[in-house]
Amino acid sequence: MSRRTVRKITNYVALCLSGLATAVGLFFLGAILWTLISSGVAGMSVALFTQNTPPPGGSGGILNAIYGSVVMTLIGILIGAPIGMLAGTYLAEYGRNSRLSSVIRFVNDVLLSAPSIIVGLFIYEVLVVRMGHFSALAGAVALAVIAIPVTVRTTEDMLNLVPQGMKDASTAMGAYHWRTITSIIYPAARSGIVTGLLLAVARISGETAPLLFTALNNQFWSTNLRAPMANLPVVIFQFALSPYKNWQQLAWSGALLITLAILILSISARIAVSAGGGRQR
């Protein structure tokens, strides 16, 4: 075989392999979605959305878990979003090149990739032990701690995309710095920031590990923030590992619901980005 043939064959094989790798990645996404849909749809019924988690063997739905997840995600994002946005604004506008900002940026990146179970442990030590019992509030705070680094990062990135000329123009008109930020920069970066928030919601609504130690779980309907509250991820965790058929079925349905919700959130976030013209990392 001539050298040229060898090179051509190597080229062909390598390119086929990389195409194959992509197919493998797509295959796993497809396989997971297919499993979720085929096993989850069977459990879809009105009862799923109208009844609470049943005892083993009984019939029921996951209403309390859906409610708990929504409430805790909302509180988490309500606490996390303002803090994250303010911190991001500080990094992008006030302390862009200061030493403190680079330290904060580094710490934020560490928090961003810290295992979520660590956050759960932290909140357990700080809130659960002090309060003496598990509570929905502690769960929400844990989710907020996870949401903060995400919003800090996206807010900073989005604010940095706002053209310097617009800021200069505003300053030249005699606007104070805070005026420039609230009237010029925020509106210009709005779609990007909203995307960041959507991604943060998507991230925390699927978190399981931190809720294990904070919100725990609840078999019953509860709106008391100071008591343990049911939530989808932990219900899925417990029910999927249980030996009872009806619990496992509920776990699959719950898994399907939560995945659909997250995928819809992520896709709409991406659409918002391409509509706003920004670039998401």
Partner 1 sequence: MAALLVLTLLGGVALSLLKGSWPAFAHFKFAFLTREIWNPVTDQYGALAPVYGTLVTSLIAMIIAIPVSLGIAIFLTELAPAWLKRPVGVAIELLAAVPSIIFGIWGLFVLAPLLQRHVQPWLIEWLGPLPLIGKLFQGPPFGIGVLTASIVLAIMVLPFISAVMRDVFETVPDVLKESGYGLGATTWEVIWKVVVPYSRTGIVGGIMLGLGRALGETMAVTFVIGNAHRISPSLLAPGTTISASIANEFTEAVGDLYTSSLVLITFAVIAAARFMLMRLDRRALSTV
> Under rule CB under 8 A, which residues in 146-175 are in contact with partner 1?
148-149, 152
Position 83, amino acid: I
Return the residue of 46, 113, 163, 243 that touches partner 1, per CB under 8 A: 113
Stretch that binds partner 1, among 34-42, 70-78, 135-143, 170-178 (CB under 8 A): 34-42
Q: Name the helix (H) or strand (E) containing 238.
A: helix 232-241
Return the residue of 1, 29, 46, 172 that touches partner 1, per CB under 8 A: 29
Return the residue of 2, 18, 97, 164 that touches partner 1, per CB under 8 A: 18
How long is the chain?
281
Is 46 a binder of partner 1 (CB under 8 A)?
A: no
80 Cβ contact partners less than 8 Å away, ≥ 6 residues apart: 143, 144, 145, 146, 147, 148, 151, 200, 204
Is 59 a binder of partner 1 (CB under 8 A)?
A: no
Q: Contact, 65 vs 235, CB < 8 A?
A: yes
Q: List, as one string, the DSSP characters of 204-225.
A: HHT--HHHHHHT---SS----T
- By C-beta, is 9 or 173 nearer to partner 1? 9
Residue 244 in 3-state DSSP? coil
Angle between helices 63-89 and 232-241 (to 10 degrees): 130
Residue 172 CB, nearest approach to partner 1 (Å)? 27
- By C-beta, is 19 or 58 nearer to partner 1? 19
Return the residue of 106, 176, 178, 220 that touches partner 1, per CB under 8 A: 106
Segment 129 to 148, residues that bind partner 1, using CB under 8 A: 145, 148
Rounded to whole angstroms, the Cα distance separating 124 from 213 reads 6
Residue 193 CB, nearest approach to partner 1 (Å)? 15
Segment 168 to 227, residues that bind partner 1, using CB under 8 A: 202, 205-209, 212-213, 216
Q: Contact, 218 vs 128, CB < 8 A?
A: no
Taking CB under 8 A as the rule, which mask of x and - marks residues 225-254 in contact with partner 1?
A: --------x--xx--xx---------xx--
